[in-house]
């Protein structure tokens, strides 16, 4: 399952919402694997992930895309869907975001 929280405005809690949903999935379904995809150039999700990874979730992973494009996500996400039960994508807050446009 691929999930993302999008909004064209910044500072509305997209990253926190994506992270909290993914972390809740890891806690409530420990037999499921969770991947966070950081498609926002600010890389805020990466910082949150680093602090929580130390809590010992073995199937909680993070991947970061630099200068992410819609084509990159469209090509890459299907491969990850074969490996992870949940994929949470954090995107930038503007109309140029690959998942918003």
Contact status, residue 19 vs residue 36, Cβ threshold 8 Å: yes
12 dihedral zone (left: phi>0; alpha: psi -120 to 50; beta):
alpha
**84 burial via Cβ count (<10 Å: 0-12, 13-18, 19+):** buried
pLDDT, residue 75, reads 85
CATH number at residue 40: 3.40.50.300
| 34 belongs to a structural domain | yes
Whole-prediction pTM: 0.79
Domain assignment present for residue 98? The answer is: no
Q: Provide the pLDDT confidence category of residue 100 given band limits of 50, 70 and 90.
A: very low
63 vs 18, residue with greater confidence: 18
Q: Are 91 and 5 in contact (CB under 8 A)?
A: no
Domain span at residue 21? 2-91
Please state the domain count of the chain.
1
Residue-wise pLDDT tens digits, 34-85: 888 888 877 777 777 665 555 555 567 777 777 777 777 888 889 889 899 9
Q: Which residues contact 55 (CB under 8 A, 6 or more apart)?
A: none
């Amino acid at each position: 399952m691929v999930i993302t929280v999008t909004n064209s405005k910044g500072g509305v809690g997209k990253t926190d919402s994506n992270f909290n949903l993914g972390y809740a999935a890891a806690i409530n379904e420990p037999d499921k694997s969770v991947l966070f995809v950081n498609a926002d150039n600010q890389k805020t999700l990466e910082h949150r992930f680093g602090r929580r990874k130390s809590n010992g979730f073995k199937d909680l992973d993070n991947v970061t895309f630099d200068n992410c494009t819609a084509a990159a996500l469209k090509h890459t996400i299907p491969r990850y869907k074969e490996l992870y039960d949940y994929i949470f994508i954090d995107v930038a807050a503007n109309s140029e975001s690959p998942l918003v446009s």
